[in-house]
Chain A
């Protein structure tokens, strides 16, 4: 074992005695493109609704709950799919989120929420994860589509216009503070601020 490792190490540290420098550089370049492209493609595949609901935990619970909400079907036909709200758009943030998501892979493998009952038990913790994330990034995923500067208060109901022009405008509150449960059912809200 140690011998094998040593042989490998010597090959890597010694200059190439057989391949030309050009071949190595070009070969490395092409391999890099293939690797990077493949990595990003794979990343994008995990960023689709089909991928999310390929697990029954997602399809039977949260996806079903999303269906009657305004983010699924509405007058203008714009739909927000899972990654639109749950995965950051910026690359570095996205990678950070994907690393966290490895915990979810663990959960899937060991069936942490593989029944409705188990899901309901964990619901509050899972919801709080998302609320904390959105609170920390000032509801960034909401704001990817809903831009405060583009809001027409005259088109909003009086109550909405009042809240948006005061609490939201001053930065005292962010979207998720009031709009919890906008796309999925709520857990038991006892002890949550504002309830």
Chain B
């Protein structure tokens, strides 16, 4: 009888302690995740070499894309590998500048690019707008890392008019 009691007590003890042990272990793994570097390395420990992701291809379809947020500089719909934009040359402008668009049929650089910051017109592209890639970028053929919930003003206004009409 006494032996049986002891057995019951022991098993109860084990049952009582095990969750806390389990949680301790879980806590340890959590801590491990927290203490590993996050951001670009996807929780890869500092001493391990992460298998690099595949580099996606640049979209080269020459089809204009919509804007992803208000006032977004238009994105470049073609590859720009080896295009030189430096103090001597600007390859982009060999198609997109005012005097080249007739020949190239490329979109013309907007008039604002020819203005200094006081709104005075210049003969050539303003130095502060010279480096195209500061604002205009190519797109890659990849899943977006973050979902974009931007709705442009047009669609917002449309929704509003529909709502007011239905009331």
Contact = CB atoms under 8 A, between A and B. Distances in A.
A195 B61 CA distance: 24
B94 A181 contact: no
Contact of A157 (B60, B81, B94): B60
A169 interface: no
Contact of A70 (B61, B62, B78, B82): B82
Interface in A147-186: 157-159, 181-182, 185-186
Given A69-B82, A187-B88, A188-B89, A195 B94 contact: yes
B88 A157 contact: no
Nearest to B81: A70
Nearest to A189: B89
B84 interface: yes
Nearest to B82: A69
Given A157-B60, A159-B62, A195 B82 contact: no
A189 B84 CA distance: 11
Nearest to B94: A195
| Interface residue SS majority, chain B | loop
B99 to A, nearest CB: 10
Interface size class of B (residues with CB under 8 A): 10 to 19
Contacts of B60: 157
| Interface residue SS majority, chain A | loop
A15 interface: no
A186 B89 contact: yes
A22 interface: no
A195 B78 contact: no
Interface string B70-107: 00000000100110100011010010000000000000
Interface of B: 60-62, 78, 81-82, 84, 88-89, 91, 94
Given A69-B82, A188-B88, 5 more contacts: A157-B61, A157-B78, A159-B78, A181-B91, A189-B89
